Amino acid sequence: MARILITSALPYINGIKHLGNLVGSQLPSDAYARFMRARGHEVMLICATDEHGTPAELAAAKAGKPVDAFCREMWQVQKDIADGFRLSFDHFGRSSSLRNRALTQHFAGKLFEAGLIEEVSERQVYSNADGRFLPDRYIEGTCPNCGYDKARGDQCENCTKQLDPTDLINPHSAISGSTDLEVRETKHLYLRQSAMRARLTEWIESKTDWPVLTTSIAKKWLNDGDGLQDRGITRDLDWGVPVKRGTEDWPGMEGKVFYVWFDAPIEYIAATAEWADAHGLPDSAWQRWWREDMGAGDVRYVEFMAKDNIPFHTLSFPATIMGSGEPWKLVDYIKGFNWLLYEGGKFSTSQGRGVFMDQALEILPSDYWRWWLLSNAPESSDSDFTWEAFQAGVNKDLADVLGNFVSRVTKFCRSKFGETVPTGGAYGPAEQAVIEAIAPRLKAYEGHMEAIEIRKAAGELRAIWVIGNEYLQSAAPWASFKTDPEAAAACVRFALNLIRLYAVLSRPFIPDASSAMLDSMKADDAWPGDLGAALAALPAGHGFSVPDNLFAKIDDATRLELEDRFGGRD
């Protein structure tokens, strides 16, 4: 049994996320965690809301609420949505927690002691209209690298280039829209990432199994221009972790807070500590996941994120961990995802374009979305959500293949043999052929899930469902029942066992349908070891019930209505 620590990139607190955010980190991290738990491994799946920085302040101001109250409310909203999508986080924390505050200040103190933080006098943008400095996302303008006209002062979301506010062309205040800006001098703390370049390069070069997307972005940031740059880790904001060296005040830094991208990844650790607190466990319970001197040396740590988060997780957060000089656990594998597009373009809240997570749950059950998003996960390239493709995936894969199989088998058995697994007959060449067909597919499915190749795993899972349908169609127990009821009984018994197998294998992708199938079969969820034994797990005489229709088809009229509703058109 392995111990696997899994973290999903933290969603910003400033609003409800869209389907692209869901499939870019949270959903695949859940599927992987569910699979690893099913295989008997000890898993810790951690996520949290990212609550500091300008996005929170701006969203709270727009909502007319104090920022702490706004964050508290939005945490609950995001937690409820995560539950709605059946995201099986062991803990869903908050980066504004006391645990994260203390750990962030602790890391800052250790980095200062190691000579990796320095005070820098710098020139920052000041808004005369707003009467304040404008850090990061309080400034918008045109990216000097790609020309995107809605770039933020910390990073261009279009080309992912890291920016400083003074880099922007035609900048304006994100608060008031004012262009009455000037540059003034102020002091801030910088993390000397450049001093860590050699260690980071060696570490990244050692990760030969990382996805190309992850390593290519990391190496680009390491080597472009003058290489890895020192980065400011404080801001002139009211909301955030106050700047301290451990528990001591930091002279000259009064009234400043740590930069959100410094404290946010530390919340992975803090949220695990919050999990221990919530369960009344001692610090050793979370430290065994994070400190190598407390047992984390045998932990495999896997991070999930969209590609715009990769630079901070391959460089800035590891620099913090390494630079502390303490035995914290470094990530072993980073699974990066490309973008999910919506009908060929970007999701847009302001334009009403695309489906957001709360809307999705109002339209259809979570399994419909989980299946389509995971089976079309943007791993090797961007993926495009279209309603036509979504309709086809739901109707063909879920309704026609899996749902139809379960319905036909259980209803036929009830009508001819009652609600118990039939007695009589014996498995023969047809059943053995199914076992031989499924075995390599199951091995491939397990291999792809272990390698976090989500789309390939979904393809193998669907192929396993198809094998059952082809078997049922060929064996045709509804025909053989008239002349050879023993053969029909054996076929149905085997097919009912296939339903249990499908329920177990499908749980990482469609947990609600999986539970419905297992409840119907009155069966456990033990992962198959010997496939032949697994397909005889339900003996003759074992009771079952006919489940409700697992999946309803999406008709053309509904699809057209949804296309219009979420197309961003007037």
> How many CA atoms lie less than 13 Å away from 540 in the CB half-sphere?
11
Q: Any binding-site annotation on 146?
A: yes
DSSP 175: T
DSSP 552: P
Helix axes 454-475, 27-38, angle to 10 degrees: 60
Q: Any binding-site annotation on 156?
A: yes
CB 346 within 8 A of CB 353: yes
Please give the helix or strand (H or E) that residue 310 lies within, else none: helix 310-311
Output the CA–CA distances (angstroms, integers) from residue 351 to 27, 339, 347, 464, 566, in the order listed: 25, 19, 8, 41, 9
Distance from C-alpha of 562 to C-alpha of 543, rounded to nearest angstrom: 41
Distance from C-alpha of 346 to C-alpha of 109, rounded to nearest angstrom: 41
Distance from C-alpha of 309 to C-alpha of 294, rounded to nearest angstrom: 29
| Strands (DSSP E) found in 389-511 | none
458 phi/psi in degrees, rounded to 5: -60, -40
Residue type, 305: M
CB 324 within 8 A of CB 107: yes
Distance from C-alpha of 65 to C-alpha of 118, rounded to nearest angstrom: 35
Q: Any binding-site annotation on 491?
A: no
Distance from C-alpha of 366 to C-alpha of 357, rounded to nearest angstrom: 10
The encoded tokens of residue 516 equal: 């419905």
CB 59 within 8 A of CB 70: yes
Of 107, 383, 486, nearest in space to 264 by CA: 107
CB 537 within 8 A of CB 492: no
Distance from C-alpha of 234 to C-alpha of 447, rounded to nearest angstrom: 43
Distance from C-alpha of 382 to C-alpha of 20, rounded to nearest angstrom: 10
Residues listed for the chain: 570
| SS3 label, residue 1 | coil
Distance from C-alpha of 98 to C-alpha of 470, rounded to nearest angstrom: 57
Q: Any binding-site annotation on 349?
A: yes
DSSP secondary structure letters along 390-418: HHHIIIIIIIIIIIHHHHHHHHHHHHHH-
CB 386 within 8 A of CB 567: no
Distance from C-alpha of 53 to C-alpha of 59, rounded to nearest angstrom: 11
Residue in the structure block whose two tokens are 């009155």: 522
Q: Which residues have a Cβ under 8 Å from the Cβ of 290 and sit 6 or more positions away?
A: 5, 269, 272, 296, 328, 329
342 phi/psi in degrees, rounded to 5: -120, 110
Q: Any binding-site annotation on 47?
A: no
> 13's torsion region: left (phi>0), alpha (psi -120 to 50) or beta?
alpha
Residue in the structure block whose two tokens are 């699974």: 335
Residue in the structure block whose two tokens are 């221009």: 225
* Residue stretches of the annotated binding site: 143, 146, 156, 159, 349
Q: Which residues are annotated as a binding site for Zn(2+)?
A: 143, 146, 156, 159
Q: Which residues are annotated as a binding site for ATP?
A: 349
